[in-house]
Chains A and B, each alone.
Chain A
């Protein structure tokens, strides 16, 4: 007899198959049903999951994973290296709809010398490669070896069979997904007998449900977190940094922003403390560069631009931008300093940031218009085509700091992620060597240098690192907060339990 854990999500899952899924709802379920070869441990280090241990050859080109031998799929079949091989083949299968193929395209080949060993041969040394093996491994026998389209459309994507701590029980679309504890799990014994994933598409309704104690956890908005102290009887509140940052990016091809001095002036004109107050109600901290404060790649010595509108005005005046016609907007050769900032619809923090920055820039005589655009057309028509003056967006980062695709000058083509057209030869070179350097100390130096260099170039005004603000029903014991992990505090969910006298939803059927 044990308890249930009820979580809620804004959206429904898509594929309960880690190879195909890219949305967060599917990922939360897949994370409980499937295992990767490795996973991220409590100290943001990589530890074995399906792999007992692994070796990396001296030249960094061959990874050898030694798999655990006592692992069984939920249907009783044994897990072997064949499954890892099959998963890899699907990841590079051109007809499989996986968004992850580029994580694996530096692999020359995969070999399985025996049932419990997987050898991966790389074309070139690539440090972030190890992290990619956190990808959930699917069972070859379940899919009957299906390839291509048949794999995409396989019924197992709806009724997953994995190796993880939870087995799939049922899925009522747009209503709920139910999982049950796997009594044969190869890890520790699972205590929470049932995991229920409810779909509640509206955040304010979700909050009412929490108030009604009908869900056990929820990620709060900063205002909900703050305004509600007396209402959270029965819930524990958590607060720790989220592995993400929000930025204002300048299109460096735009004539206004080609000039570094102008970008610096705008950085001085933006009051980040006020943003942190206004947007995340003080629950976050102002950002200095592309890496997170908790990451080893973060450079603690980077000094941010101080908020100083006077200085901003002075710098701009030095570049010829003065309010010569007294209309409140600075101008140069008869042209006003005016530009349009875009951000995506559906993200309140970003639109609030835009509104606050609009007011702050007005103080130094800069006119900023705001356009909020629906996600799909935002990406297709504006971001991909680099068709904007300035943009507010955010990046969520994984533990490995490799940021090649965001900052390298080779990534400036249509549809790539260096959409602001940033180019710095030194940064390019550092990004390349950072991918090949296996020595942690050397890598740290490389990335801290990148942090400083990018900060100094002001391609983005790095705005803030928001906090992650979950609440959890008090009956659950065992959560350990791991800062930085993007999956929040549920990383050790398989160790949680509910003390006998506090059980709320007893599960009567014997397991």
Chain B
């Protein structure tokens, strides 16, 4: 197992490099330069001043030289400074990562529990009213545009019922609260974002776990277990349950990149200070060092996530052994 993990870690290096090259190439397609955003059609800005900024940024060099410089610096763990505000890229990412991870762990947990529960119950009670209704419900959740549902929920819970705050990660007086109040405050602010992010993935996951369960239930060894007179609870949870876990774990691994870096829309809607907005702003501002930093970190985290998924996979499925 340990050597397997080590080997996987080594294999990540070319993958991460591949991803950074891809990011860099896509950036080269970009018309426009960071200086356009900075100068913003400023009437008082002369074109000589613009030219000066281009040189300061080093944008007058060919792309492979720029990439080589970047790789050399990253080898020393230096991601450079953001064009937007001259702060180290790594600091800006570190600032956002906790909020993003917090939200993602909560959503993943939520998805995990509910997808499994719905999947198992639907499979065991196949074609029951619950099975049908839950199928329809998770599909509606999946089919609605996220930001629209988010806005409707904000209006309902924030304005009409007044139960939850509308946006943000914490209240303005957060620092003055005690620990219990702080946790409550965070919980209130996180309820809608977690609900909305989880909603979009619940459908596919619960359906997958349902069909995995169905498949298992029809297997011989389950029939044998039942025939041996084991009670239904034991059969389901001891034998079938583990098998329903497998597709969920794999799929969750695949969902990671979009969860970590792809949250632009709901982060914008919920005014949530996460990685998605950082990435979006970087794209729009042509903030190359920032984009490269985010691309690399997201890819790295995803690969780690996939590795973890595989490890869990092995733990869940005793048939899989790694040489």
Does A102 make an interface contact (CB < 8 A)?
yes
Q: How many A-B residue pairs have CB under 8 A?
A: 145
Question: B residues touching A (Cβ–Cβ < 8 Å)?
Answer: 30-33, 36-50, 52-53, 56, 81, 84-87, 92, 95-96, 151, 154-155, 158-159, 165-169, 172-173, 268-271, 273, 277-278, 281, 284-286
Q: A153-B81, A158-B87, A212-B158 are in contact. Are A380 and B273 (CB under 8 A)?
A: no
B269 & A202 in contact (Cβ 8 Å cutoff): yes
Q: Is A211 an interface residue (CB 8 A)?
A: yes
Contacts of A212 in B (CB 8 A): 158-159, 166
A40 to B127, CA, bound (A): 74
Query: Once the chains bind, are A99 and B85 in contact (CB under 8 Å)?
Result: no
Across the interface, name the chain B residue whose C-beta is closest to A397.
B43
The 8 nearest A-B residue pairs measured at CB? A376-B32, A377-B31, A102-B46, A174-B273, A380-B32, A415-B47, A14-B85, A379-B36
**Do A205 and B269 touch (CB < 8 A)?**
yes
Q: How far is the CA of A400 from the CA of B1 in the complex (A)?
A: 73
Instruction: Determine whether A487 belongs to the interface, using a CB cutoff of 8 Å to chain B.
Output: no
Which residue of chain B has the shortest Cβ distance to A405 in the bound complex? Answer: B43
Write out, one digit per residue, whether chain A residues 91-119 have a CB within 8 A of any chain B CB (1) or not (0).
00011010111110100000000000000
Residues on the A chain within 8 Å of B56, using CB:
95, 97
Q: How far is the CA of A414 from the CA of B85 in the complex (A)?
A: 27
| A375-B273 in contact (CB<8A) | no
Given contacts A105-B46, A175-B169, list 19 more A-B pairs with CB under 8 A.
A22-B38, A97-B38, A97-B86, A99-B39, A173-B273, A174-B278, A201-B277, A211-B159, A212-B158, A212-B166, A214-B166, A375-B36, A375-B284, A376-B37, A380-B36, A381-B32, A383-B41, A413-B47, A417-B43
Given contacts A102-B44, A102-B49, contact A205 B277 (CB under 8 A): no
- On whether the beta carbons of A99 and B172 are closer than 8 Å, the reply is no
Query: Are B166 and A406 closer than 8 Å at their CB atoms?
Result: no
> Is A157 close to B, CB under 8 A?
yes
> CA separation between A174 and B92, bound complex, in Å?
11
Residues of A within 8 A of B31 (CB): 376-377, 380-381
Give the residues in chain B near A6, CB-CB below 8 Å: 172
Instruction: Verify A198–B172 contact, CB threshold 8 A.
Output: yes
**Would you call B284 and A102 a contact (CB within 8 A)?**
no
CB atoms of B158 and A208 under 8 A apart:
yes
For A505, the chain B residues whose CB sits under 8 A away are 172-173
Q: Can you list, as one digit per residue, whether each of A212-253 has a CB less than 8 Å from chain B (1) or not (0)?
A: 101000000000000000000000000000000000000000
Partner of A23, one of B40, B87, B158, B270: B40
**Residue among B32, B85, B273 with the most chain A CB within 10 A?**
B85
**Residues from chain B with Cβ under 8 Å of A414 in the complex:** 47
- Nearest to B39 among chain A residues (CB) is A99
14 contacts between A and B (CB under 8 A): A97-B38, A99-B45, A105-B46, A153-B86, A175-B273, A201-B277, A202-B269, A205-B166, A209-B167, A376-B31, A376-B37, A380-B31, A416-B47, A505-B173
Asked if A447 is an interface residue, CB under 8 A from chain B, the answer is no
Which B residues are in CB contact (< 8 Å) with A4? 172
Residues of chain A within 8 A (CB-CB) of B86 are 15, 20, 97, 152-153, 157
Whose C-beta in chain B lies nearest to the C-beta of A394? B41
Interface size of A in residues (CB-CB distance below 8 Å): 59
Asked whether A379 lies within 8 Å of B41 as measured between CB atoms, the reply is: yes
Residues of A within 8 A of B155 (CB): 208
Say whether B36 contacts A406, CB under 8 Å. Answer: no
B33, B45, B277: the one within 8 Å of A376 (CB): B33
**Contact flags A186-216 to B (C-beta < 8 A → 1, else 0):** 0000000000101111101100110110100
Task: Determine the chain B residues whose CB is within 8 A of the CB of A211 once the complex forms.
Answer: 159
Question: A172 in the interface, Cβ–Cβ < 8 Å?
Answer: yes
Q: How far is the CA of A377 from the CA of B32 in the complex (A)?
A: 5
In the bound complex, CA of A200 to CA of B165 (Å):
13
By beta carbon, the residue of chain A nearest B47 is A415
A381–B31 Cα gap in the complex (Å)? 7
List B contacts of A416 (CB < 8 A): 46-47
B81 touches A173 (CB 8 A): no
Q: Mark A375-389, 1 if CB is under 8 A from B, else 0.
A: 111011101000000
Q: Is the CB of B286 within 8 A of A376?
A: yes
A155 to chain B, nearest CB (A): 9
**Complex Cα distance A103/B271, Å?**
36
A174, B96: Cα distance in complex, Å = 9
A384 to chain B, nearest CB (A): 8
B residues in contact with A15, CB < 8 Å? 85-86
Q: Does A449 belong to the interface (CB within 8 Å)?
A: no
Q: What is the chain B residue whose CB lies nearest that of A94? A: B52
Contact yes or no, B154 A395, CB < 8 A: no
Q: Which of A100, A208, A379 contacts B32 (CB 8 A)?
A: A379
Contacts of B81 in A (CB 8 A): 153
CB <8 Å contact, B44 and A405: yes
A176 at the interface (CB under 8 A from B): yes
**Would B284 and A376 count as touching, CB distance under 8 A?**
yes
Q: Nearest-CB distance from B193 to chain A (Å)?
A: 12
- Neighbouring B residues of A95 by C-beta, 8 Å: 56
- Measured CA separation A172–B81 after assembly (Å): 18
A172 touches B273 (CB 8 A): yes
Contact B92 A173 (CB under 8 A): yes
Complex interface bits, A114-138 against B, C-beta within 8 A gives 1, otherwise 0? 0000000000000000000000000
By a CB distance below 8 angstroms, the chain A residues around B87 are: 153, 158
Q: Which residue of B lies closest to A4 (CB)?
A: B172
